[in-house]
Structure 1
Amino acid sequence: MSLYRDEGVVLRTQKIGEADRIVTLLTREHGRVRAVARGVRRTTSKFGARLEPFSHVDVQLYTGRTLDGITQAETITPYGRDIVTDYARYTAGAAILETAERFTDQEGEPALQQYLLLIGALRALARGEHEPGLVLDAFLLRSLAVAGYAPSFVDCARCGAPGPHRFFVIPAGGVVCAECRPPGAAVPAPDTLRLLGALLAGDWETADASDPRHRREGSGLVAAYLQWHLERGLRSLPLVVR
């Protein structure tokens, strides 16, 4: 039996048998890992409560034939404690966890950037540093960028003409100039595009000062852009408070 240790965030759990769970984690060194935690649903379990979604944990695992197994778990930061008690934070957090899982399809493949983005987003949610919807949209945009799908909010995504431009075309990869504009292109407010650019760049001063109507419009564009690249929507996204 080969043992290894890593730190990670619990993305999802699934009941199996009478007392066991399959735990999906995004880890720092090993990417996404699915592992069996045996006996954790028993009241006598020593670490069952530590393996809940949003938990940042230090885990010891062993390599199995089909699924790895968890033999030990220690809490690093209980982000869920401050997230699950607030509906807006919880729904945004659920969408963040689902996105992190979807962008790490290959189990065992390192995904350090995605892991660090996830930790940062959960920390911001738990501390209430920014409005939950803004934290979610910033995470979605940066996850897309890490995956190679960064949208352009200034220069033309097709010909590279310097912006700003106002026409937003999802298949093109963001804003386009008047010459590249196809029929039916969306025309969001300039402040909406500035907000999305700020979220992608981490300019929280601009993002926090944005108007709610531009946040709602921006969220719609982000959701549509994400769905285009994932080829299907997130189950948790319609529940997010906007």
Structure 2
Amino acid sequence: MMSRTYQATGINLQGRAFGEADRLLTILTAEYGLIRAIAPGARKYKSSLRGRSELFVVNNLLIVAGKSLDKVVQAETIQSYPKLSQNLAKLTVSQYLCELVLAIALSEQPQRELYELICSHLARIEVLDENQYILPYLCQAIFHFLTIAGLVPQVHNCLLTGKALIRDNCLGFSFEAGGIIDLAALTETINPPKIDSKLTLQELQLLQCLGKTDFTPQENLASELAWINLDRLLRRYTQYHLGKTFRSSALVEGLSPLEF
């Protein structure tokens, strides 16, 4: 149990107006997981907490525990990602990732791996060139977060037969089963799972690359179309398994290819 005053390092994932001049923050901390805390006076123009309570800002925090809500009494910014808010695609994708982290993060226990992962992906997205295609980076981030949550789809073996996938075969993706299925195996299965999407060979190859740490996406028209399909597939899969809709998902869907 946390003492009445405690220190933590965390990133602001969500914030809203609270009272006359405060902000209510949802913060992912490395030490204690998700916490909700009031940043008193943070909406005042001259408040020292004003910039430190913005979205995507990482702070060293001194917090007083309360009965229902904690209170930030001191914040020292150690990292921020200002370029995320200067580009619509980067901002939208980053907001989606924050929503995803909010859905899988736990409270009152350490979440250092998740904290480091969201910071790592935001940093990666922030430095992308304006002409770089962003969807591959979103897909890999989703894949990594699903891995931490224990929900990562099976993309190397058929879920019905357990055999390695043969790339020349017709393949499908099942949310219910949790990954890829060789469609030829469906005829030999009693009560086969629903196939939510068929996969092309290129989509399979890209999916199988998402778990790699040294993954660098190729950029061409054919792969862009594949990434659009995989992005939709992974977001729908995530929504299915977490049982909730992400507001930013519709915003990602609404971005035109030119904005990517």
Question: Deviation at 1:3?
Answer: 1.6
Q: Secondary structure at the match of 1:14?
A: strand
Correspondence for 2:52: 50
Correspondence for 2:104: 103
Correspondence for 2:224: 212
- Runs of 4+ with deviation above 6 angstroms: none
Correspondence for 1:37: 39
**Structure 2 counterpart of 1:208, which letter?**
Q
Correspondence for 1:73: 75
Contact 1:193–1:218 (8 Å) recurs in 2: no
Output one character per residue of 1:69-89: Cα deviation in whole Å (capped at 9) or x when no partner. 10111111111x110000010
Instruction: Choose from 181, 185, 191 the match for 1:179.
Output: 185
Q: How does 1:219-234 map to 2 (within 5 A)?
A: 219-234=231-246
- What runs of 5+ residues in structure 2 fail to find an aligned partner? none
How far apart in 2 are the matches of 1:52 and 1:215?
Answer: 31
Question: Deviation at 1:99?
Answer: 0.6
Q: How does 1:191-206 map to 2 (within 5 A)?
A: 191-205=202-216
Q: Secondary structure at the match of 1:101?
A: helix
Output one character per residue of 1:13-49: Cα deviation in whole Å (capped at 9) or x when no partner. 1211101111111111110110011111112211221
Q: Percent identity?
A: 28
Question: Deviation at 1:7?
Answer: 1.1
Q: Secondary structure at the match of 2:232?
A: helix
Contact 2:174–2:193 (8 Å) recurs in 1: no
**Structure 2 counterpart of 1:192, which letter?**
E
1:169 equivalenced with 2:181 (yes/no): no
**Structure 2 counterpart of 1:49, which letter?**
G
How far apart in 2 are the matches of 1:146 and 1:158?
Answer: 24
Correspondence for 2:86: 85
- What runs of 5+ residues in structure 1 fail to find an aligned partner? none
How far apart in 1 are the matches of 2:75 and 2:154?
Answer: 41
Contact 1:95–1:237 (8 Å) recurs in 2: yes
How far apart in 2 are the matches of 1:43 and 1:119?
Answer: 27
- Comparing 110-119 with 16-25, greater Cα deviation is found at 110-119
TM-score when scaled to structure 2?
0.86
Greater Rg over alpha carbons, structure: 2
Q: Secondary structure at the match of 2:153?
A: coil
How far apart in 2 are the matches of 1:137 and 1:238?
Answer: 15
Correspondence for 1:134: 136
How far apart in 2 are the matches of 1:15 and 1:74?
Answer: 21
Question: Deviation at 1:201?
Answer: 2.5
Question: Deviation at 1:142?
Answer: 1.2
